[in-house]
Structures are given as C-alpha cells and as structure tokens.
Copies of this chain bind each other. A is one copy, B any other.
Amino acid sequence: MHIKPKVKEEAIHLSDLAWKEFPPTLSSGGIRWKMLHASPEMGAWTAIFDCPAGSSFNPHFHVGPGEYLLTKGRMDVRGGSEHGGDTVLAPAYGYESANARHDQTQFPVDSEFYMTFLGPLAFIDPDGTPIAVVTWDEAQRAYAG
C-alpha cells in the first residue's frame, strides 16, 4: 500500500490576495471576494466576501454545512429576522446547515464576512431548479480566472 503524506499547511496574509468580482450572475450590488482555500478531498472551501450596502446573493442552497464570522456590517440571512430568518450585526457567528435554503441574503450596510463551506452552493431558480453548482473546484477556477 502506498503511504500517503499529510496535507501541507497553509498561511496567507489577506492583503496578498486580490479582491475579485463575485459572479454577477449569482449576486448583485458589487459583491467582491477572496478565495482562501480549497479542500479537494472533502469538497470544502473557504472565502471572505466584501458586500457593499445594498448588495445581495441570489437564491441558493447550502448543500453541506457552512459557518461564518461576520466581521463588519449587517447580514440578513434567510429573509432576516423580519421574515423568519436571522439578522446579525458584526461581530457575529452563524451556522448554516446542510440543505439550508437562502432565498435572500442581503447586506443593508457595508459588510464583510468570512465563511467555510463543506460542499457546494447550489444556486437555484425561484422554483428550486438548480442553475449552477458552485463546488470547491468551480470556486477556485472562478477566482483564478
């Protein structure tokens, strides 16, 4: 049996990575991001997002669990607390579970959050039809591209 090596550690200063536009087909209002890490074996990935006041993500499912640290601003998740979801003000932590559906994720003020994802984000049409499955691999290629 071939002995497999340990995975290499990584460390990076955020200022060494460029902010890039998050695909406007999947978001609106000028969201930018830095892809921080891809885990090809687990299918996990990690990123930080810069979300100007008024920006939002299009409807999507979290295929696996995700955890975030909101470092700046305000995020209205799953419609925000006014519509049965959560509204968080920085600094805040949140856990989104496998199969969590996010019809609306909105940023009413300039905001920033760091998030780890196990598995892809499945962006959907309003009727739930998948339109794009953003895996660790799609994410790294979108950021590099």
Across the interface, name the chain B residue whose C-beta is closest to A89: B13
Q: Interface size on A (CB < 8 Å)?
A: 63
Judge if A35 is at the interface, Cβ distance under 8 Å. Answer: yes
Selected from B14, B43, B133, B143, the residue in CB contact (under 8 A) with A93 is B14
13 further interface pairs, Cβ-Cβ under 8 Å (given A12-B93, A43-B118)? A1-B35, A4-B40, A6-B97, A9-B94, A10-B94, A11-B77, A12-B94, A13-B91, A37-B93, A71-B71, A93-B114, A116-B116, A119-B120
Contact status B118-A42, CB under 8 Å: yes
Which residues of A approach B to under 8 Å, CB–CB? 1, 3-15, 17, 35-43, 46, 48, 61, 63-65, 67, 69, 71, 77-78, 86, 88-89, 91-100, 114, 116, 118-120, 122, 130, 133, 135-137, 140-141, 143-144
Selected from B11, B65, B144, the residue in CB contact (under 8 A) with A41 is B65
Selected from B11, B15, B17, B41, the residue in CB contact (under 8 A) with A98 is B41
Selected from B13, B41, B43, the residue in CB contact (under 8 A) with A63 is B43
